[in-house]
Amino acid sequence: MEAKVFNSFRDLIFEKTGIHLTEQKVALVSARVGKRMRALGIGDYSDYYQYVMAEKSGQEMVELVNAISTNVTHFFRESRHFDFMGESLRKWTESGIKQVRIWCAASSSGEEPYSLAITALENLPRDAKINIIASDISTKVLQMAKFGVYKDSDVQGISAPMLKRYFQKGVGRAQDLFRVKSELRDLISFRQVNLATPPYAVESPLDLIFCRNVMIYFNQDLRKRLVRTFSDMLRPGGYLVVGMAESLSGIHDKLKSVEPSVYIKLP
């Protein structure tokens, strides 16, 4: 891919998603765009760019975003966050709170929101009202998340009792597959959200926002805007959880660090 064409794709992706692609991502963009080009029978990167720009419905832009978006996840990834969430939920219950609203802002293929749902059910009383909003920019991974079917290798990090309690094992040719039970699926509403373009179709105030390993792809201005928006959407005493490799140092005012990558909204 020529530098001029790469820059065109980079500017377009940034404009539409806020994702900042450095020059080191040329190979990644070439490979992922190339798959979409082969599906369409287009042989030149510049021709494909022109096709995206000319396509009236906007569906090809969606396909491009689906191709570029990085979706690396697994159940209970960075497990300390879920331990912290469980502790917080138990404390909230002891204080009389019986309703919890959680936003998983980058749900990918569903492992994270389902991990949140399991943690909520394991740490809240049965009469608690649990509402989890799971969003992503990619329509492709949202469909996978809604379907809620995972391979045996995907659920290795889940204990045997939890796996039996919350997943239905396939039979016959599907014996290596596990489907999330309706008890979990009913707690979650999935929707497409582009974090680069607030306001979001997410009701507030929220008790907990998980936005992990996303802001590393954004520039500093977008990170600041995003954190301010998250802060406004949280109730006082609510938490924002970011990735272990991410830091809000210097870009937050109403949020205080309570442990690495976990921030509480101040009164």
The domain segmentation of the chain, as residue ranges, is 3-68, 80-265
For the cut 80, the answer to whether the pLDDT of residue 253 exceeds it is: no
* Catalytic, out of 136, 185, 207, 223: 136
CB 82 within 8 A of CB 261: no
Q: Which of 65, 40, 49, 10 is nearest to 219 (CA)?
A: 10
For the cut 70, the answer to whether the pLDDT of residue 258 exceeds it is: yes
Q: Which of 81, 70, 52 is nearest to 244 (CA)?
A: 81
83 CA to centre of own chain: 19
* Catalytic, out of 32, 80, 165, 225: 32
pLDDT computed for residue 101 by the predictor: 98
- CA distances from residue 122 to 62, 127, 171, 193 in whole angstroms, order as listed: 36, 12, 27, 28
Query: pLDDT class for 174, splitting at 50, 70, 90?
Result: very high
Q: Which of 132, 128, 93, 138 is nearest to 115 (CA)?
A: 132
Q: Which of the following CATH numbers is that of domain 3-68: 1.10.155.10, 3.40.50.980, 2.30.250.10, 1.20.1250.20?
A: 1.10.155.10
Please give the order of strands across the beta sheet that includes 167-169.
149-151, 177-180, 167-169
Query: pLDDT class for 157, splitting at 50, 70, 90?
Result: confident
| Active site (annotated) includes residue 173 | no
For the cut 70, the answer to whether the pLDDT of residue 235 exceeds it is: yes
176-221 pLDDT tens trace: 999 999 999 999 999 999 998 888 989 999 999 999 988 887 888 8
The per-residue pLDDT of the chain, averaged, comes to 91
Phi-psi region of 168 (alpha: psi -120 to 50; beta: other; left: phi over 0): beta
Q: Which of 177, 189, 233, 172 is nearest to 207 (CA)?
A: 233
- CA-to-CA distance for 95 and 242, rounded, in angstroms? 25
pLDDT computed for residue 59 by the predictor: 80
- The fold of the 80-265 domain, in CATH, is Rossmann fold (3.40.50)
pLDDT computed for residue 136 by the predictor: 92
Higher confidence at residue 123 or residue 29? Answer: 123
257, containing H or E segment = strand 255-259
Q: How many CA atoms lie within 13 A of 104 on its CB side?
A: 29
Predicted TM-score (pTM) of this structure: 0.83
For the cut 90, the answer to whether the pLDDT of residue 138 exceeds it is: no
